Amino acid sequence: MSHPEEAIYQAQGMGNSSGMGAAPALVLVDFVVGFADPAHFGGGNIGPAIENAVALLAHARAKAWPVAHTRVVYADDGSDGGVFTLKAPSLLKLTETSPLSQIVPQLTPIPGELVVRKRGASAFFDTQLSGFLRLRRVDTLIVAGCTTSGCVRATVVDAMQHDLRTIVAVDCVGDRALGPHEANLFDMRQKYADLMTNAALMAA
């Protein structure tokens, strides 16, 4: 989709493709019950993103790609909450045993897949994800999940800063509001990641 300001980025040499490497992995960011529910953290196009991710996860498993899932998890007493939870105190509901913090049933992890518990936006910050990927010699990270403007974007930026070729599975990411979703997809494509649909990823 063309954007009226895209010419500015093109003139400055942005928006190039980093491409697909030889060793991809998939990370599914925060596809948990609370983010699937508009009454809690969901809404917008998160529901369709979850449904589209089912086929992407099946493809990753068939290709034996490393797979990681993330959950936001805080202590029952909120003692490990930080500034993120000052901005959004409702996140403290996402404890280890809360139904809201469980991965949605249609994307349930299987043995061998990493489940990352995180307290910040990025799947990389203060977690074991980078070690998991490095051990498996991953050079390309495909990112699905929610929200596009929040934890997906933070994960994408950190993936690029770990020198991973980074691809956003564009129909497998969602946000509670479409304006931030679209703006962040545009910005990530210009500076941090390639955007690919499910169909294109499976063909690649």
Q: Are 174 and 168 in contact (CB under 8 A)?
A: no
Q: Using omega within 30 degrees of 0 as the cis cutoff, is the peptide bond preceding 95 cis?
A: no
- Give the E-state strand segments of the chain in sequence order: 24-29, 67-72, 114-118, 140-146, 165-174, 194-196
Q: What is the pLDDT of residues 124-178, one digit of tens each?
A: 999 999 999 999 999 999 999 999 999 999 999 999 999 999 999 999 999 999 9
pTM given for the model: 0.96
Catalytic residue ranges: 151
**Amino acid in the structure at residue 149:** S
The two counts, helices (H) then strands (E), for the chain are: 8, 6
For the chain, list the domains and their CATH numbers: 21-203 (3.40.50.850)
